[in-house]
């Protein structure tokens, strides 16, 4: 059997070499070694690696240049061209005399216009204008405050506009807010500004001229504050309104917050103190405060008494200091309804002037042979003058308040209505609640003889008539005379000043079952013969033993105006 013999190639260095003729090479230094050729396997492996690398490179190049080329091209452009917002100036706010109340200050730390050389300087140059507010007191609830445009953690604005939070800043935000512009900035790899162009110029917001006189308003705030602090009232509000146009001359709420602090929010401690204040300075008591009115509703009830011919205005009712009403089911049980004092014989004019509860118990609910107006008519005539309804959609829209009625009592307590409920409602007690703005426009409608106006905070924006109250002028005259008599010799005598003839109606509303606390009211208008302005001032939650209240605050206000703004008495 033939066997294939293995053979191998003989290397050249193996020919004729033996130990006797072996050269003296130093093998440790690679002497005497012959180079071997690279194997085909190694060549093919290397070639394959290069081909694979080239394929990966080509795929990535295709991905960058073709598949996602437009996206990366846009990213590249964006890295070179950066849009920067140019914030529009917010509209300034002025009072009726052109006194600035809110305006824009230059941004803090901004570079001179056009002087930015880096993106950081450019951002400072186009930063948000700072909102500044007048330092006068008593303006916060009218003006409100703003929130500035906001950035995310990367420094980009996610909200580019001012946002009004309260007051005029909120209600007229769309008018005050301008339209931001934009600037396109070219920067190099180091963030240096190469060039810049304004793409859209900013458009400033519109200015507002308010109807208020800021000096009169600050004085009203300070006079309310002084009486409230001296005689321990929990707060207060005051409104003065033009009875011809509906323009608000002054409207303030005590206590108040700081518009500047709440807009800037740079002092966290101050902001926290404002938010946590126990006396609730953020409540606009003039618009949103609900108060038991007490006797200030008597003139409007008197209009119903006259129009329904319940009594002749000269009819005398004797006020002994109380009336007693036997229980119809158990005559041995007698309910006593008391007056603030025994006032003797009174006609309608003097009953208004002296604020007789007995008189209005009698003509309101009926007593001693007088049928009385009745609860349905009391509700009717209160409603005519705007009580129990919200002010129509306007800056002054707030809660509607309540007029006590059988329907209200059933819905609230699930109980029937009693005669005593009518007596209490007739003198502005029980569940009746009103806002100072409701009261001042009711007083204005009384003063102008039946035109119920929608109040306005904008100068020259009026009158806006909600409705005309169709009642005889002779009835208005009688009630006016009673209110003037109240200033001359009745419960509003604090307003009996020599420089203007005012007509007024005071009120002291008892609070709670214990009646230990009261709301103090003074309302009225001037001048008596030709009314121009109506007013309503309330001080809340004072001691029942206080003899000084809202009338004193309004008297101080009239005295201040006579010295500093006598034009309002001419």
pLDDT for 508 equals 93
**CA–CA dist 251, 435 (Å, integer):** 12
Q: Is the pLDDT of residue 547 over 60?
A: yes
For 51-79, give one letter per residue: b (16+ CB within 10 A) or e. eeeeeeeeeeeeeeeeeeeeeeeeeeeee
Q: Which long-range contacts (CB under 8 A, 24 or more apart) does 33-39 make?
A: none
pTM of the model: 0.82
- Report the half-sphere exposure of 385 (CA within 13 A, side-chain side): 33
DSSP 280: -
* Per-residue pLDDT band at 383 (split at 50, 70, 90): very high
**CA–CA dist 12, 199 (Å, integer):** 84
**CA–CA dist 261, 563 (Å, integer):** 32
pLDDT for 13 equals 56
Write the pLDDT tens digit of every residue in 365-377: 999 889 999 999 9
Q: Match 């003039």 to its residue by tokens.
A: 286
pLDDT for 274 equals 87
Angle of helix 214-230 relative to helix 550-564, nearest 10 degrees? 150
Fold of 214-569: Beta-lactamase (3.40.710)
Task: Decide: helix, strand or coil at residue 288.
Answer: coil
**CA–CA dist 552, 559 (Å, integer):** 11
* Per-residue pLDDT band at 190 (split at 50, 70, 90): low
Superfamily of domain covering 79-209: Penicillin-binding protein 2a (Domain 2) (3.90.1310.10)
Domain boundaries, the chain: 79-209, 214-569
pLDDT for 36 equals 64
pLDDT for 419 equals 94
């Amino acid at each position: 059997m033939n066997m294939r013999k293995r053979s191998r190639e003989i290397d050249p260095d193996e020919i004729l070499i033996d130990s006797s003729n072996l050269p003296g090479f130093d093998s440790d230094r690679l002497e005497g070694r012959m180079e071997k050729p690279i194997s085909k396997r190694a060549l093919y492996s290397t070639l394959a690696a290069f081909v694979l690398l080239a394929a990966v490179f080509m795929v990535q190049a295709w991905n960058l240049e073709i598949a996602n080329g437009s996206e990366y091209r846009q990213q590249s452009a964006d890295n070179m061209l950066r849009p920067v917002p140019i914030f529009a100036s917010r509209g300034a706010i002025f009072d009726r005399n052109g006194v600035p109340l809110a305006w824009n200050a230059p941004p803090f730390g901004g570079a001179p216009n056009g002087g930015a050389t880096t993106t950081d300087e450019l951002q400072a140059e186009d930063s948000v204008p700072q909102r500044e507010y007048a330092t006068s007191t008593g303006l916060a609830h009218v003006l409100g405050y703003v929130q500035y445009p906001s950035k995310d953690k990367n420094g980009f604005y996610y909200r580019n506009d001012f946002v009004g939070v309260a007051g005029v800043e909120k209600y007229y935000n769309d008018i005050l807010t301008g339209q931001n512009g934009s600037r396109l900035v070219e920067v190099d790899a180091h963030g240096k500004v190469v060039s810049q162009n304004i793409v859209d110029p900013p458009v400033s917001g519109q200015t507002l001229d308010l109807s208020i006189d800021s000096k009169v308003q600050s004085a009203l705030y300070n006079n309310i504050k002084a009486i409230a602090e001296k005689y321990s009232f929990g707060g207060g509000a005051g409104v003065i309104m033009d009875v011809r146009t509906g323009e608000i001359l002054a409207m303030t709420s005590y206590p108040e917050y700081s518009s500047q602090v709440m807009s800037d929010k740079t002092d966290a401690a101050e902001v926290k103190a404002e938010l946590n204040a126990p006396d609730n300075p953020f409540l606009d008591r003039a618009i949103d405060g609900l108060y038991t009115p007490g006797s200030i509703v008597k003139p409007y009830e008197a209009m119903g008494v006259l129009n329904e011919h319940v009594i002749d205005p000269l009819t005398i009712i004797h006020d002994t200091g109380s009336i007693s009403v036997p229980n119809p089911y158990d005559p041995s049980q007698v309910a006593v309804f008391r007056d603030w004092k025994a006032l003797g014989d009174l006609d309608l004019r003097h009953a208004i002037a002296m604020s007789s509860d007995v008189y209005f118990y009698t003509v309101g609910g009926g007593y001693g042979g007088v049928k009385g107006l009745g609860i349905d008519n009391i509700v009717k005539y209160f409603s005519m003058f705007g009580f129990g309804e919200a002010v129509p959609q306007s800056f002054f829209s707030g809660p509607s308040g309540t007029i006590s009625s059988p329907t209200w009592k059933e819905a609230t307590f699930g109980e029937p209505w009693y005669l005593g409920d009518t007596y209490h409602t007739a003198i502005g007690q029980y569940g009746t609640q009103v806002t100072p703005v409701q009261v001042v426009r009711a007083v204005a409608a009384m003063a102008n003889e039946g035109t119920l106006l929608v109040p306005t905070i904008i100068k020259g924006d009026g009158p806006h008539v909600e409705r005309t109250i169709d009642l005889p002028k002779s009835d208005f005259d009688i009630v006016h005379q009673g209110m003037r008599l109240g200033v001359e010799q009745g419960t509003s005598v604090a307003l009996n000043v020599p420089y203007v003839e005012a007509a007024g109606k005071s009120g002291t509303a008892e609070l709670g079952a214990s009646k230990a606390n009261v709301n103090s009211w003074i309302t009225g208008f001037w001048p008596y013969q030709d009314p121009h302005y109506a007013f309503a001032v309330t001080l809340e939650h004072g001691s029942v033993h206080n003899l000084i209240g809202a009338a004193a605050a309004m008297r101080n206000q009239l005295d201040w105006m006579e010295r500093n703004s006598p034009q309002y008495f001419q």
